[in-house]
Amino acid sequence: MASAEMSSTRVIRRGFTLIELLVVIAIIALLIGILLPAIGQARRTAWAVVAGSNARNVLQAAAIYNTSNKEFYPPSYVYGSSRFGYDWDPNLQRTTHPTPINGYIHWSYALFDNGEVPENAFESPAVLNRGAPRTNPGPDFDLWEPGQLSDLGGGPGEDWPKDRQVGRLAFACNGAIIPRNKFVREGSPRQARLVKATELFRPSGEILITEFRETANWRSLADINDGGENVIKSHRPITPFYGFSAGADVYNEPNRAQVSFAYPDVEQLEGIIQTISQDQTGLIIGRGGSNSSLEAVGRHHNGRVNFGYADGHVALDEMINTIRERKWGDRFYAISGNNRISRTGIPGQD
C-alpha cells in the first residue's frame, strides 16, 4: 500500500527539449551581438582618454623643460657624443652619424630623464605593444620587434647601439617646432635650429605632438630609402610640409626670397592615405621633401587621433582637418632662413 502511494505522488522530471536549447542559445548569441560592439566602443573610448591624458603629461613635461632651458624646445634627436648621458656636440650633427654605436638621444629622454614625466606617459593602449620600439633598442629583448634590425644591422639583444629614448613610443613631435639634428649641414644654405616657445605665433593652434599611426607592425615607421624596411625610424619627427623643389630634402631647399614650403594638397593627401591603408609599409618619416610624412599620423580613435598643442591642451581630431585649418603652424620654425609656409602653394606667392 505504501509503495502504491509513493508511486502515485512521484514527480516526473524532464530536461529541455532541443528546440528550447536552440532558442536559449539564439537569445544569448543575440545579446552578445548587441553588447560586443558597445563594449568594443567603450574600450576604444577609454583608450582615447588614456592616450589623451598621456599626451597632456608629455606637454606638461615639455613646458617644464622649456622653463629650465631658456624657453627652448629640445631637438627631436641628436647624435650622442658618447654612449651615456645627454651630452652632444652641435658640430657632429651632420647628414650621417659620425659614431653610430653611440645611438640617438631622443626628445623623450630630455623630458623623462629629469623625472618630469614617467616613461609610460609616452605610450598608448590603442597601438601595437603600446608604442613603437627605439631605432636601436639595446639589450632588452622585449623592446625589439620581430625582424627588426639596428642602424648597424644587429638584432635583438645586442648591447650597442642603444638609444636614449623611451622603450615604447606612441607619440611623434612636429618637426617644424622640434627640429631634426641637422645643425651643421655642410654645403647647405639651410640648417636646423632650436626653437623657443615664445617664437610661436599661435600656441593654442599649433600642434606640438601627435600619435603615431597604428598598423599591423612597426615596419610602417621604416624609411625604405634609408636603411631598409627592417630599420625603424621612430626617433624622427613628423614633418608636415612639402619643399617646392621636386624630391628635395627641406634642409636643402634654396635659401631664396620667396616662400619655400607649403602644406600638402588635401585631396592628394587623402589619396595617399587611401593607398597606404592597403599597403601599410614603407612610410616616410620626417624627411619633409617631396613626400610628406603626415600619412604616419594616427587615425585609430574612430578616424581621429589626439593632437597636443603648444599651449598644453589636447584635442581629438582628424588629421585632414589639421591640414585644412593649418594647425601645424605658419612657419617652419626649426629651419634657418625664410621659413614661411605658403598659403597658395605657389612659389613666390603668399
Tell me the per-residue pLDDT of 271-298, one tens digit each, with 9 for 90 and over.
666 555 444 444 445 444 444 577 778 8
Interval 302-309 mean pLDDT: 93
In this predicted model, what pLDDT tens digit does every residue of 51-90 receive, in sequence order? 999 999 999 999 999 988 999 999 999 999 888 888 888 8
Stronger pLDDT, 261 or 106, i.e. the higher one: 106
The total number of structural domains in the chain stands at 1
Q: Cα(90)–Cα(320) distance, rounded to whole angstroms?
A: 35
The per-residue pLDDT for 291 is: 47
Question: Has residue 1 been placed in a domain?
Answer: no
* pLDDT value of position 262: 79
Which residue range is the domain that position 267 belongs to? Answer: 41-342
User: Does residue 14 form part of some domain?
Assistant: no
In whole angstroms, what separates CA 66 from the centre of its chain?
21
Name beta bridge partners: 232: 222
N- to C-terminal Cα distance for the chain?
111
Q: Domain for residue 25, yes or no? A: no
Q: How far apart are alpha carbons 103 and 181 in whole angstroms?
A: 13
Residue 73, CA distances (Å) to 69, 145, 193, 255 in order:
8, 30, 10, 24
Where would I find the H helices in the chain? Answer: 2-8, 18-68, 107-112, 266-276, 319-324
Q: What is the pLDDT of residue 183?
A: 85
pLDDT at 304 > cutoff 70? yes
Q: Does the residue 21 lie in any domain? A: no
CB-based contact 124:211 (threshold 8 Å): yes
Write the CA distances from 88 to 77, 99, 307, integer angstroms. 10, 12, 29
| Residue 95 domain flag | yes
Which residues face 314 on adjacent strands? 308
Domain assignment of residue 347, yes or no: no
pLDDT in tens, 157-212: 888 999 999 999 999 999 999 988 888 777 677 788 999 999 999 999 999 999 98
Residue 16: inside a domain, yes or no?
A: no
**Residue 7 belongs to a domain:** no
